[in-house]
Amino acid sequence: MSARVSMMKGIVVAAALAACAAGVTQAADNSARARDFATQNQYLQDESTNMPHESPRVDRSVAPADPVPEASAYGGERARFRAMDQQLQAESTGLPAGSPPVDKSAVNADPAPRGVAEERFLQQNSTK
């Protein structure tokens, strides 16, 4: 029995040493990655513009250029929608909603060239 216990102790110690060696290797790899990242990050920071990362403060005391009517209740929502719809309708073009019907009897102005195999296939499968 003691032989089994000592063998299991040896296996546990070997596994612990292997895990420790793997951890050291990974730590060395991560530090190399960290150095590479720091180098690349510094390069990108030097190349980037010095633009501020925030938007300028908004002056809320100034009236908006295109005010939207406030909606206090359902009727307000309807009035707001009506105002936005009228604005969008005024900005839209006056084109008709549908497209004109296609004249299928007309010959194509610029037909796509067909290959020999396609022509043969079409001749064999034609219903004439």
Q: Render pLDDT for 108-128 as a digit per residue (tens, 0 to 9).
A: 776 776 777 787 788 888 766
- Pick the more confident residue, 31 or 3: 31
Widest pairwise Cα distance in the chain:
99
Q: Render pLDDT for 19-71 as a digit per residue (tens, 0 to 9).
A: 666 665 665 566 888 888 999 988 888 777 666 677 778 888 888 776 666 66
Domain ranges of the chain: 1-47
Burial classification of residue 79, based on how many CB atoms lie within 10 Å of its CB (0-12 exposed, 13-18 middle, 19 or more buried): middle
pLDDT of res. 69? 62
pLDDT of res. 21? 61
Distance between CA atoms of residues 76 and 70, nearest Å: 7
pLDDT of res. 23? 62
Per-residue exposure over 7-42, b if at least 16 CB sit within 10 Å of its own CB, e if not: eeeeeeeeeeeeeeeeeeeeeeeeeeeeeeeeeeee
Distance between CA atoms of residues 123 and 119, nearest Å: 6
- Pick the more confident residue, 107 or 40: 40
Asked if residue 69 lies in contact with residue 76, where contact means CB atoms within 8 angstroms, the answer is yes
The token pair at 107 is: 């010959």
Q: For 58, list phi and psi in degrees, rounded to 5.
A: -95, 130
